[in-house]
Structures are given as structure tokens and as C-alpha cells.
Amino acid sequence: MSETGQAARSAKRELRRGLLAAREALGADELREAERALARQALALPELAQARTVAAYVSVGAEPGTLALLDALRARGVRVLLPALLPDNDLDWGVYAGRDSLARVRHGGRMALLEPAGPHLGPQAVTEADVVLLPGVAVDTRGMRLGRGGGSYDRVLARLETAGVRPALVVLLYDGEVVARVPDQPHDRPVQAVVTPSGVRRFTGQG
């Protein structure tokens, strides 16, 4: 890796560390209210109103909560796809059929994830989505997203590009996680919008 690439990775780690520490400081009441507000804001998106299939994820720990949003989308009749982590950090996908359809899966020494317990559809299933809701730690004013560092969603975005499909890419964050600039690398891809508990911000020129 070049010196420039190493510097970007180091800067990402530092920014990620500070933002994750701020999340961990949030109280249970703040987390619950943020989840409700995030769902309200996201459900007003025209992209989600028109979507037939949405690729999403189940939040863990102090991540902005997604279960209220998943349930609301399912109640609308939307087909919701959720990821299952594969051994190589790629993502398989299964259909969300309600909270009882989730299984708690521990991958090595990492935090346990809630994943679809039903049949898995293969990594390519994400290419059927009209909207992809992305986890993240921050996004900047250009729409560049900072992820958790595992690379799973870099693979998802590359898969979408290879397939020639262009679903709306939306990241779900807390209000304080929209920053001036995220260190980026050549493989990073911008999103079209960020949803936070207080509103939606769109990024121009990104599709």
C-alpha cells in the first residue's frame, strides 16, 4: 500500500475511534428516541416510498437503531433483505420476515449480529434492491461514507457497480456524524443521501 493509502487508513481509524466513543456514551432513552426519529425521517424518503425491495441491516450496539424502520417497511409490503456475514467478510442476504425471523450469530470474537434465519439467497441478491441502506460511522459533505472498517459494504458497492445497477444509496447516522470531510481511498463510493434523526441531507452530483 502506498504512503497516501496508509495515511488515509490511519486517518479513518482515528476518526472512527472518536465517533464510536461518542455513540457508546449515549443513554438508552436517547437510543430509543433516535431510532423512532430515524424511522420517521427515512420513511418520508421518496426512494423508499417507491421501493419494492430494500437492502437494509439490523443495527447492533449503539448504532442508530433500524428495527422500527424495518418493521415499518415490511408493513408497507416492501421486500426487505438483510445481510448474513460470510467467513471472508462478504455478505449473503435473506428476507426479513419479522423480529422472530432473526437469529443471533457470533462470528469469532466479534459482537453477535442479528441475521436472517431463513434461506439465504446469495451475495448477488443485493443487486435486486431499489434502495440500499448502509451502516456507517460518518459521512462528509461530498457523500463519502466512513464504515466500520471491515470492508463488507465495499464489496457490496463493487458488486452493484459490476452488475450495472444503480439503487439509491442511503446511509443512516446520528446528527453529529455528518462531518466536513472523511478520508477517502480510490475504492470508496459516495452515497446519495444521509438520514439522521433530525432530517435528510442529499448530496449533489452523485447519481
Q: What percent of the chain is helix, strand and coil (3-state, nearest 5)?
A: 35, 25, 40
Total domains in the fold of the chain: 1
pLDDT at 5: 61
Per-residue pLDDT of the chain (207 residues), as tens digits, is: 455 667 777 888 899 999 999 999 999 999 999 999 999 999 999 999 999 999 999 999 999 999 999 999 999 999 999 999 999 999 999 999 999 999 999 887 777 899 999 999 999 999 999 999 999 999 999 999 998 878 899 999 999 999 999 999 999 999 999 999 998 877 778 999 999 999 999 997 443
**Is 207 part of a structural domain of the chain?**
no
**Is 151 part of a structural domain of the chain?**
yes
5 neighbors 185 (Cβ within 8 angstroms): yes
**Is 45 part of a structural domain of the chain?**
yes
In angstroms, how far is CA 116 from the centroid of its own chain?
16
Q: Considering only CA atoms, which of 76, 77, 80, 69 is closest in space to residue 36?
A: 69
**Is 119 part of a structural domain of the chain?**
yes
**Is 111 part of a structural domain of the chain?**
yes
**Is 16 part of a structural domain of the chain?**
yes
Could you give the CA distance from residue 207 to residue 203 in angstroms, rounded to a whole number? 9
pLDDT at 206: 42
Count, residues in the chain = 207
- The secondary element (H helix, E strand) that includes residue 28 is helix 28-43
pLDDT at 8: 75
Residue 176, domain CATH: 3.40.50.10420
Q: Coil, strand or helix: which one is 186?
A: coil
Strands, E, within the chain: which ranges?
53-55, 79-85, 91-95, 102-105, 113-116, 131-134, 138-140, 145-146, 168-172, 178-179, 193-196, 199-202
pTM, two decimals, is 0.92
60 neighbors 114 (Cβ within 8 angstroms): yes
| Residue spans of alpha helices (H) in 44-202 | 46-50, 67-75, 152-163
**Is 73 part of a structural domain of the chain?**
yes
- Domain of 118, in residue numbers: 3-202
Residue 190: DSSP 8-state: B
Q: What is the dihedral of CA 45, 151, 23, 112, to 10 degrees?
A: 100
**Is 185 part of a structural domain of the chain?**
yes
pLDDT at 107: 86
